Amino acid sequence: MRRTLKILALTLLALPLLACALHVANSGSEPVPPRPEGTFRIATYNTHYILLNKPEGAWSVADWERRRAPMAEALRKIDADIIAFQEMESFQRGDDGSTNLARDYLLAELPGLQAAASGPWQSFPATQPIFYRASRLTPVDEGWFFFSDTPDVIYSRTFNGSWPAFASWAEFETAGGKRLRVVNVHFEYKSRSNRRLSAALVRDRLAPVIAAGTPTILLGDLNAMHGAYTLRTLEEAGLTFAPTRGATYHLNAGINLLGAIDHIAASHGITVTKPLVLREKFMGEWPSDHYPVYADITLP
C-alpha cells in the first residue's frame, strides 16, 4: 500500500512538470514579417461563437465587446490578403444567421477586406466566411457542402447526428489572371469518426478540382495534429500540409499544451512559407481561444 501511495504521489508531482514542459515547448511568438513581394498572405482564425442570449460571462455579447477591438488589432498586425474564419457566428435560435456581430464588426474595422463564401443565411451558412483583399483578388465562384450523408442539403447534421458542420469555399482571380480556390473547414473536436468521414468527403470533393489544375489551399480548424489520419486523408486529394509548430489552441488562457490543430495546406505548385502563429494578447486581452495562423504563398 505504501508503495502504491508513493507511486501515486510521484505521479501527481510529475503532472505539473509535464504540463509546464508542454507549455514551454508549444509556446513562443515570432515578430510578424513583411509580406514578400509577389506573394499573398493567407490566414486561418477560429474566432469562437457569440451567444446572443447570454448578456454576460464567457462568450456572451459583453464578452464579444471586450474581445472585438483586440481581434481587429491582431488581424491588422497580420495584414493578410485572405482570412478563413471558423465559428464566426452569433447564436440565437435554430439556424438563424441574420445577426453576425463578428463578421460585421471586422469588415467595418478592416476596410480593405470584403467577405466571400457568405450570403443570406437561408441559402449560405454564415459561420465560415472568407475575407479577401479586394484590391488584389476578385471572387469568381463560391459554395459550401456539409459533412453529412446529404452534403448538399444546407444545415444537415453530421454523419453521427451531431451539430451541422461544413466546408465553405471561394475561388478568386488575381490581377494577373491566375485562379486560386480557398477551402475553409472546421471538423468536430469530439468525434474521431466524424472527423475522418468529414476529411474523406473533403478529399473526394477537392481531388477532381486539384486534378484539373486549379491551385487550391485548405485552411481551418481540423481538431487534429500533424500526422493524424485526418490530415493524411486530405493529402490523398493532392494537398501538402505546411508544418505549423506549437499550439494554436490555448484554452482561452494562453496555456499551450497541444500541438497545432489549425492548419494550412496547399496543392502542388503553390509555394508556402513556414506558417507562423500569433500568440499574443492585444490590449491586454486574448481575442479568442485560438491563435491566428498565417503564411505567405506564391502561386504557380
Q: Over the stretch 36-77, which tens digit does the pLDDT of each residue have?
A: 999 999 999 999 999 999 989 999 999 999 999 999 999 999
- The pTM of the full predicted model, rounded to 2 decimals, is 0.93
pLDDT at residue 259 above 80? yes
* Domains of the chain from N-terminus onward: 36-298 (3.60.10.10)
Cα dist from 195 to 150, 159, 256, 261, whole Å: 16, 10, 23, 12
Q: How far apart are the first and last CA of the chain?
A: 66
Residues 6+ apart with CB under 8 A from 111: none
Residue labelled with grid coordinates 466546408: 167
- Region 21-29 average pLDDT: 57
- Region 110-137 average pLDDT: 96
- Coil/strand/helix, residue 12: helix
Binned at pLDDT 50, 70 and 90, residue 14 comes out as: very low
pLDDT computed for residue 257 by the predictor: 79
Torsion of CA 289, 102, 142, 219, to 10 degrees: -20
**pLDDT, the chain, mean:** 92
Quote the CA–CA distance of 94 and 92 in Å, as a whole number.
7
Binned at pLDDT 50, 70 and 90, residue 29 comes out as: confident
pLDDT at residue 263 above 50? yes
